[in-house]
């Protein structure tokens, strides 16, 4: 088993760049190591927190338990037909490198999810999504170790209860499993191209190019880079809140205040609003409070300008939630995980 380290700064392991400490820290590189670790009596009573790329977590305090860095690598085709391949990928693989690997091989399905930070193991946890596609659309199954017993469980799509930025791993299975691999079903031909998201459609209209999976990825990388801060330059965890899904009546209240409110149908007569727009309308966009603040190009992203504490960023998020509630009567729900 790899060495258990003591008193480790988590700063290099979270994209917010928060400098908090873990009492214990271990990096696991294989399923065997992971099973051995979780079934070792010595650690069974310790609190554990699993971390992948650390791009969807805000660390608000030192952690007295064991932080487990999942670095299980590997990619393997487990099944293929003329039209599809099933690719099993280690949870510790970098997500965007996987996207690039698929583009090189002309495998379609995850091109719209280009440049999302983090690792493969976390992708099903919040059912990552962007530019009209969610990972559930290419998800076949995942393997996970049950932390309490060390048993390996397989979760198929229906077991995961995927929703918008949601899955079973944010509810009843939260903190109970270590995901070791995810298997994706990807197209080898007749790719289902999705250019429905307005900025992507506009980019193709303007350039006059016909879309391919590689070109869609390129356009999305350009769009994302123009508004989302690069965590290597400025600490952040992407969207801090989910876009709220509201009733028709709640929507009409906002529309009475602002005729041109961006909105998207969300099924059952409900409407999805853009949290970034709501936050901007409350005057938060680009606000800076010393070491932390709200990104100037995308109000849904809270940022660490240097050495902010996670507690301060959490407090800011609560002030934003209150202000959106007071102004619009809408409760924003956090997307980011809090440690």
Q: Which of 10, 20, 89, 130 binds ligand EPU (CB under 6 A)?
A: 130
Q: Using an 8 Å Cβ cutoff, are 64 and 163 in contact?
A: no
Q: Residue 79: what are its φ and ψ, rounded to 5°?
A: -165, 145
Question: Interface with ligand EPU includes 266 (CB under 6 A)?
Answer: no
Residue 276: contacted member of ligand EPU, ligand FAD, none (CB under 5 to 8 Å, by partner type) = ligand EPU
In the bound state with ligand EPU, the residue whose beta carbon lies nearer, of 180 and 194, is 194
Dihedral angle over CA of 28, 114, 153, 81, nearest 10: -120
Query: Closest separation between CB of residue 35 and ligand EPU, Å?
Result: 32
From the list 23-31, 100-108, 232-240, 245-253, the region that binds ligand FAD by CB under 6 A is 232-240
108-137 footprint of ligand FAD as x/- string (CB under 6 A): --------xxxx-xxx-xx-xxx-------
The two beta strands, 63-70 and 21-28, are parallel
The residues near 160 (Cβ < 8 Å, ≥ 6 apart) are 124, 127, 136, 139, 142, 167, 168, 169
Q: What angle do CA 213, 214, 217 make, to 5 degrees?
A: 85
Partner touching 293 among ligand EPU, ligand FAD, none, CB below 5 to 8 Å by kind: none
- Is there binding between residue 119 and ligand EPU (CB under 6 A)? no
Q: Which of the 8 DSSP states describes residue 262?
A: -
Between residue 186 and residue 245, which ones bind ligand EPU under the rule CB under 6 A?
197, 238-239, 242-243
**Interface of this chain with ligand FAD, residues 158 to 177, rule: CB under 6 A:** 177
Out of 16, 25, 277, 328, name the contact with ligand EPU by CB under 6 A. Answer: 277
Q: In degrees, to the nearest 5, what angle opens at C-alpha 291 toward C-alphas 289 and 293?
A: 50
For ligand FAD, which residue of 237, 254, 278, 313 counts as binding (CB under 6 A)?
Answer: 237
Count of CB atoms within 10 A of residue 226's CB? 10
Q: Is there binding between residue 299 and ligand EPU (CB under 6 A)?
A: yes
Contact call for residues 310 and 19 (beta carbons, < 8 A): no
* Contact between 111 and ligand EPU per CB under 6 A: no
285 binds ligand EPU (CB under 6 A): yes
Cite the active site residues. Answer: 165, 239, 335
Which residues are 77's β-sheet partners?
A: 87
What is the rounded end-to-end Cα distance, in angstroms, of the chain?
A: 26
Q: What is the DSSP string of 35-86?
A: HHHHH-HHHHTS-EEEESS--SEE--S-EEEEEEEE----EEEEEE-SSEEE
DSSP code of 242?
Answer: P
What is the smallest separation between the CB atom of 42 and ligand FAD, expressed in angstroms? 21
Smallest gap, in angstroms, from Cβ of residue 247 to ligand FAD? 25
Tokens of 266: 């969300």
Name the packing angle between helices 213-227 and 95-104 (round to 10°): 150
Which one of the spans 51-59, 147-155, 187-195, 270-278 is the region binding ligand FAD (CB under 6 A)? 51-59
Give the interface size with ligand FAD as a residue count (CB under 6 A).
33
| Chain contacts with ligand FAD (rule: CB under 6 A) | 15, 49-57, 70, 91, 116-119, 121-123, 125-126, 128-130, 177-179, 228, 231, 236-238, 337
| Chain contacts with ligand EPU (rule: CB under 6 A) | 130-131, 197, 238-239, 242-243, 262, 274, 276-277, 280, 285, 298-300, 335
């Amino acid at each position: 088993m790899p060495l258990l380290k003591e008193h480790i700064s988590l700063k290099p392991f979270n994209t917010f760049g928060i400098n908090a400490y873990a009492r214990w820290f271990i990096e696991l590189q294989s399923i065997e190591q992971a099973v051995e670790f979780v079934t070792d009596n010595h650690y069974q009573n310790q609190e554990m927190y699993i971390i992948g790329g650390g791009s969807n977590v805000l660390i608000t305090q030192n952690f007295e338990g064991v932080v487990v860095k999942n670095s299980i690598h590997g990619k393997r085709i487990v099944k293929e037909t003329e039209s599809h391949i099933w690719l099993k990928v280690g949870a510790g693989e970098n997500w965007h490198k996987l996207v690039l690997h698929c583009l090189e091989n002309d495998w379609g399905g995850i091109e719209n999810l280009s440049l999302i930070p983090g690792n493969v193991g976390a992708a099903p946890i919040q059912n990552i999504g962007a530019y009209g596609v969610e990972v559930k659309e290419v998800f076949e199954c995942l393997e996970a170790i049950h932390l309490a017993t060390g048993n390996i469980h397989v979760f198929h799509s229906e077991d995961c209860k995927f929703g918008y930025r949601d899955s079973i791993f944010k509810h009843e299975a939260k903190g109970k499993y270590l995901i070791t691999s995810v298997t994706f079903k990807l197209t080898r031909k007749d790719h289902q191209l999705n250019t429905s998201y307005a900025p992507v459609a506009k980019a193709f209209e303007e350039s006059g190019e016909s879309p391919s999976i590689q070109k869609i990825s390129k356009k999305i990388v350009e769009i994302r880079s123009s508004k989302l801060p690069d965590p290597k330059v400025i600490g952040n965890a992407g969207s801090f809140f989910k876009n709220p899904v509201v009733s028709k009546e709640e929507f009409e209240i906002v529309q009475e205040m602002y005729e041109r409110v961006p909105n998207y149908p969300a099924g059952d007569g409900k409407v999805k609003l853009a949290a970034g727009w709501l936050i901007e309308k409350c005057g938060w966009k680009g606000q800076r409070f010393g070491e932390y603040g709200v990104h100037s190009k995308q109000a849904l992203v809270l940022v660490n300008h240097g050495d902010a504490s996670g507690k301060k960023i959490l407090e800011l998020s609560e002030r934003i939630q209150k202000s959106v509630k007071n102004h619009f009567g809408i409760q924003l729900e956090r997307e980011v995980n809090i440690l």
